[in-house]
Structure 1
Amino acid sequence: MDLPRPLIPARLIRRYKRFLADVTLDGGGETTVLCPNPGRMIGLDSPGDRIWLSRSDNPKRKYALTWELSEQPGGLVGINTNLPNAIAEEAIAAGRVKELTGYGSLTREVRYGRNSRIDILLEGDGKAPCYVEIKNVHLLRRGALAEFPDAVTKRGLKHLEELGDVVEAGGRAVMLYVVQREDCRQFAPAADIDPAYAKGLTRAKARGVEAYAYSCKLSTEEILLDEALEVLI
């Protein structure tokens, strides 16, 4: 998936009110930018971090700049939680997610469950419909282990329960964790941050929900789904 070009380098001053951050632009001057991430962003919001911004041409936007990437010791990390669905869709359509090949159609945002929308619905002749829920991952606290979530997510727990219902009704259900970083080799639920979600994922797997995690290859020009990670549940 292509990123807006060119991205603008800056240094983080502080992140606040969840969706805002003050930065110093490399060319000089301070400004406030949009931070498209509702999570805690553990390890990714340290003052002085080098970050990359995109610029919107929409004159109605209050903040023209959006925080897209953070530079960390292990490489670039994508912090924009609005991107994983598009990253995953592109990879699935190109056949790069081996667990999700062989379907003839891909539809986004289909209603299902209890007033929910599934991120991607895959359908094909002779196949049960496949409901794919996508989650953004950027938390790395130890070794090469990616974790989700970085904050309590009741909505995420609801999705796990609804995916289990899909399987019991005869469909196929998949949790796809898009890890927007290159320095991970394994994935696990962050049980200390959200024990209910960790238990819910274990329960969902027992009901037949599949769980896969993929790292991404990142540059200041694009983010591509890359390698399958070992999932520890």
Structure 2
Amino acid sequence: MRLPSPLVAGRLVKRYKRFLADVLLDDGREVTAHCANPGSMLGVAVEGAKVWLWEHGDRKRKLAFSWELVEIGGVLIPVNTTNPNRIVPEALDKGVIPELSGYGEIAREVKYGEGSRIDLLLSGGRRKKPCYVEIKNVHLSRTPGLAEFPDSVTKRGAKHLEELSRLADAKQARPVMLFVVQRADCRRFAPAADLDPAYAKALKSAASAGVELLCYDCEVTTSEVVLRKALEIDLETT
């Protein structure tokens, strides 16, 4: 996935009201940027960290800048939580996710369950059952090499796991939970049980019910984010 351009560098002054961030640009201007991340951004919204903003030039938008990247400990991390929904379809087209190969059609934001929408519905091809793929963005890493989700309590995330579990029970579709780690310094993934014990419990329950769990990391540069390789998933240490 190509990142928008041009990107301008600066330092994070503060992130506040969930969707706003003040940044001191390298050219001396202090600007307010839109932050497309509703989570806590634990370990990512670090004051003084180097960041990159997109100056989009759209006069119809209230803010002229959008926050795209942050560098933490030498690691580039995209902050936009909608990126994975673009990254995954591109990876499927390139055959980067062998577990999800063999389908002929991809539909997005399909209604299912009790008022939910699945991120991707894969169907057709040589596969017998349709595949419901829920995608979650991951950027939290508090222990070297370990990616974690969520970074705060997510009742919505637990609901998605319940919906996928019902699909597994019905045995008429293939439910998949796919975690996309938008960073390249992690080797394994685990739920952040101390931050949201209910979600960690729901994830274990979903896996036991037959929901497939996948996790992939990304190669990140200041110009693009590309799905890279599968990470080990650890549910036993939570």
TM-score range, shorter-chain basis? over 0.9
In the alignment, which residue of structure 2 is the partner of 1:142?
A: 143
Match of 1:167 in 2: 168
Question: 3-state SS of the aligned residue for 1:32?
Answer: strand
State the partner residue of 2:7. Answer: 7
Q: 1:74-223 maps to which residues of 2 (within 5 A)?
A: 74-125=74-125, 126-169=127-170, 170-223=172-225
Q: Distance in 1 between matches of 2:229 and 2:183?
A: 11
Q: What value does the CA root-mean-square deviation take over the aligned residues?
A: 0.9
Closer/same/farther in 2, CA of residues 103 and 93 from structure 1, 3 Å limit = same
- The residue that corresponds to 1:46 in the other structure is 46
Paired letter, 1:221: S
Partner of 1:61: 61
Cα distance, 1:57 vs structure 2: 3.0
* CA–CA distance in structure 1, aligned partners of residues 59 and 137 of structure 2: 29
TM-score (norm 2): 0.96
Secondary structure of the corresponding residue to residue 206 of structure 2: helix
Question: Normalising by structure 1, what TM-score?
Answer: 0.98
Shift of 1:94: 1.5
> Deviation string for 1:97-119 (max 9, x for gaps)?
01100001111110101111100
Where 1:213 maps in the other structure, the secondary structure is strand
Q: SS where residue 86 of structure 2 aligns?
A: helix
Q: May I ask how many residue pairs the two structures share in their alignment? A: 233
Q: Quote the Cα distance in structure 1 between the aligned partners of 2:215 and 2:13.
A: 32
Question: Deviation above 6 Å: which 4+ runs of structure 1?
Answer: none
Judge which range, 56-65 or 81-90, deviates more: 56-65
Letter of the 1:139 partner, please give it. L
8 Å contact from structure 1 (residues 74, 183) kept in 2? no
Q: Percent identity?
A: 57
SS at match of 2:147: strand
CA displacement at 1:6 relative to structure 2: 2.1
- Partner residue of 2:229? 227
Map residues 17-28 of structure 1 onto 2, 5 A cutoff.
Answer: 17-28=17-28
Q: CA deviation at 1:74?
A: 4.3
Q: 1:74–1:182: 8 Å Cα contact kept in structure 2?
A: no
Q: Give the 3-state SS of the residue equivalent to 1:53 in structure 2.
A: strand
> Deviations for 1:115-157, whole angstroms, at most 9, x for unmatched residues?
1110000002451000000000000001200000001000000
Give the match's secondary structure for 2:231: strand
1:56 CA drift (Å): 2.0
Deviation at 1:58, TM superposition (A): 2.2
Matched residues in 2 for 1:218 and 1:7: separation?
14
